[in-house]
Copies of this chain bind each other. A is one copy, B any other.
Amino acid sequence: MIIDGKKIAAEFRERLKERATSLKRRGIEPSIALINAGNDPASAIYVSNKQKLAAEIGIASTVYKFDDDVKGNELANLIKKLNADKNVHAILLQSPLPKNLRFSEFVNLIDPNKDVDGLTLVNQGKLFAGEPNVIPCTPFGVLHLLQTVREDISGAYAVVLGRSLIVGRPLAQLLLNNNCTVAIAHSRSKNVPEICKTADILIAAVGKPRLVGKEFVKPGAIVIDVGINRILGSKKIVGDVNFDEVREVAGAITPVPGGVGPMTVAYLMSNALDLAYRHAGI
């Protein structure tokens, strides 16, 4: 079974549109501030895509653009201003920042109740403590996909390959909070295929093209591929999973593209709406 992230995300976006409409009926205009500091070309595309999706859902968005030579205090002042602005419900700081500015320093200036990516220390601490406030978008999207295949993941043995701050670590916490038995493996792990092969749920989030072959996968397991790897010299995108090989063994699998990717941006909008609802006290 192939998990059709594109279709699932499209259905999810319809529900988000209804939630946005419902907010507007109550006189609240949900809104997100997108901060794009620096001239990274990929960031420009990401921010533009987020703006388009916000428009589709019915969320007002404003892009705050700075050049590479932006001063730290300009950025800090903008964040403080947006924190104080009652009409702004969600703030996104696009990564990476220009080289002289530390991302973690500035993201932590965002009010945790406007931190749409769930990347502030307070929100990470709350996720860690099992009382999440804002759940990072990719892990949230992965959970959604999992639950389309297996409604109750409680007690399942999940192995997360990769320990990044935006995917592996928060995803492991989220699965733990949902009562999975959770293992995290990474670049320093040994016997990785054997460890993965006992998993009911296998999540690949390491950024290594087609690393996960069928020797990693227990027959019938659910395999979620978070990898987005561009093949050098081509426009082709591949995941961390050797899809053609693993689909023969897995019970369910996400493709790349068309798996986790569409869910991630949808959850950015879902988080923004959650924050707007919460702000309104409804």
- Residue positions of A touching B, CB distance < 8 A: 104, 120-131, 154-155, 157, 163, 165, 169, 173, 176, 179, 181-186, 188-191, 195, 198
Q: Which residue of B125, B169, B185 contacts A124 across the interface (Cβ within 8 Å)?
A: B125
Is there an interface contact between B195 and A186, defined as CB atoms closer than 8 Å? no
Residues in B with CB closer than 8 Å to A198 are: 195, 198
Residues in B with CB closer than 8 Å to A130 are: 163, 165, 169
Secondary structure class of chain A's binding surface, majority of residues: mixed
Is there an interface contact between A190 and B125, defined as CB atoms closer than 8 Å? no
Given A163-B176, A181-B186, does the pair A157, B122 have CB atoms closer than 8 Å?
Answer: no
Residues in B with CB closer than 8 Å to A188 are: 154-155, 179, 181
The residue of chain B having its C-beta at the shortest distance from the C-beta of A200 within the complex is B190
Residues in B with CB closer than 8 Å to A169 are: 128-130, 176
Give Cα A184–Cα B165 distance, bound, in whole angstroms.
18
Give Cα A191–Cα B157 distance, bound, in whole angstroms.
9
Is there an interface contact between B155 and A189, defined as CB atoms closer than 8 Å? yes
Is there an interface contact between B128 and A190, defined as CB atoms closer than 8 Å? no
Q: Which residue of B129, B181, B195 contacts A184 across the interface (Cβ within 8 Å)?
A: B181
